[in-house]
Amino acid sequence: MEKYLTVSALTKYIKYKFDQDPHLQSVLIKGELSNFKRHSSGHLYFALKDENSVINAMMFKGAANQLDFDPKEGDQVIIEARVSVYERRGSYQIYVNKMQLDGVGNLYQKFEQLKKQLTKEGYFDAAHKKPIPQYPEKIAIITASTGAAIRDILNTLQSRYPLVEPVRISTLVQGTQAADDIVAKLKYADSLGVDTIIVGRGGGSIEDLWSFNEEVVVKAIYDCQTPVISAVGHETDTTLSDYVADVRAATPTQAAMIATPDQQELYQVLNKSQNYLNRFIVQYMKHARQSLARFQEYYKFKQPTLLYEQHIQKRDDLDRMLHTTMESRIQSEQQRLKFVEQRFRLRHFYEAIKRNQLTVQQSREQLDKQLNRILTQKKQSLIQQVASLDNLSPTKTMLRGYSIVKKDDDVVTRSQDLTMGDYIEITMKDGSVDAIIEKVRCNDDNR
């Protein structure tokens, strides 16, 4: 029994072989994600499959946090992984270090990222959408010069609304230079003064339609002053140009239908309008004839003088009333004028002026006398006050032989304020003297 291996021992040996094989340490694999699960720990568990095989895989949290997209069921991916054995189940699996979307998946990822960015910047807001003119005269068609799209649009325009003039503008719709060419043609079409611009192409893969997902094309459509209809691909195809355009058409044929009215429907509307007008005119004429018949039977129309003879008489009455009123008013005003003249005779007016002038003159003379008396009194009072101030002036006192004694800039009025050795300043009428106190004699002290 010793030569038999345990399951664990065999599994460990196989794992050792896998881990030591340098070809299995870093392998590049592509396939489709299946049974995708995101564990609460942050690790990813899934299977990678193709048409014939399936292999289990896991991706640790640290590597998963480095992904620049959100993996989901059915994604086509390219991975870099290490092949090993999960001992507990005894099955081999891959441990993924790096993962990215494969081909078309990358385009879808780029599509979603650019869609989010442009949505956030407001390029797809409904507020920026312009209405499509109902009866256009010119429509610019920007698409490839050959192919089903241009034929479908032209045939639809001709059958629906032959009055419109299609302006064909050929452009690249696919390839590396297509985006710049579409932008240039959009600017050119916008400068022609057309009513509507149709831009698009026939169906294809996401790679074929990618030019209409380019940011420069989206912004060029947004900047157009002319309403734009996007008709890119088939009904199931959606591009960023569809989101930014004023109207999105599922097909080029539908774009032509949106851009123009149907002539058959217009004929029906015209026929209905014509029938309505005919019925309206018949009814109007019928009512007009009935009204005319009633007017013809009206008694005043049978004798027209009845319409104006009353007005003539009324006018004459008003004319007499007007003359009577005016004569009465004039007489009244004349009497009032005479009364005013009697009250305001010019002679009395002049006498009143003279009396007032005499009163003013007398008042002026009395005012002058009173002002002179007051000024004389004020001058005498001022002279007396100036003389009093002059007698009390220190300068006047010094002129009589007196002096002013100051100690520390304060006037000394008593001998008791001085002591021997004090410095004093004696101000006289013609100058000042600095002195030192040698002895102080007070009336009540013989110091």
pLDDT at res. 102: 75
E strands, 172-275, where? Answer: 196-201, 228-232, 247-248
| Cα 31 to Cα 53: distance, rounded to the nearest angstrom | 10
- DSSP state string for 111-143: HHHHHHHHHHTTTT-GGGPPPPPSS-SEEEEEE
423 CA to centre of own chain: 87
Same domain? For 155 and 25 the reply is no
pLDDT of residue 2: 67
Task: Dump the DSSP string for 366-386.
Answer: HHHHHHHHHHHHHHHHHHHHH
Domain final residue, candidates 245, 261, 277: 261
* Domain C-terminal end among 101, 129, 157: 101
| pLDDT classification of 63: cutoffs 50, 70, 90 | very high
Looking at the structure, tell me whether residues 91 and 117 fall in a common domain.
Answer: no
Same domain for 70 and 154, yes or no, is no
Q: How many folded domains does the chain comprise?
A: 3
343 strand-pairing partners: none
Query: pTM for the whole thing?
Result: 0.47
What is the tens place of the pLDDT at every residue in 409-439?
888 888 888 888 888 888 887 888 888 888 8
Residue 249: CATH number of its domain: 3.40.50.2300
Residue span of the structural domain in which 77 resides: 7-101
Asked whether the predicted pLDDT for residue 309 surpasses 80, the reply is: no
For 110-155, write each residue's pLDDT tens digit: 788 888 999 999 999 999 999 999 999 999 999 998 878 899 999 9
* Statement: residue 352 has pLDDT above 80: no
Average pLDDT over residues 314-322: 86
Whether residue 84 is contained in a domain is answered as: yes
Q: Mark whether 194 and 254 lie in a shared domain.
A: yes
Interval 22-32 mean pLDDT: 89
Task: Give the contacts of 274 (CB within 8 A, at least 6 positions apart).
Answer: none
The stretch 34-38 carries a mean pLDDT of 90
> Cα–Cα distances in Å, from 257 out to 45, 131, 162, 186, 249?
50, 15, 12, 21, 9
The whole-number pLDDT of residue 104 equals 57
Q: What is the pLDDT of residue 200?
A: 87
Sign of torsion, CA 95 98 104 109? positive
70 domain residue, yes or no = yes
pLDDT at residue 404 in the model: 84
Judge if 218 and 112 occupy the same domain: yes
CATH of the domain at 94: 2.40.50.140
| Residue finishing a domain among 231, 261, 291 | 261
209 and 228 fall within a common domain: yes
Same domain, 153 and 37: no
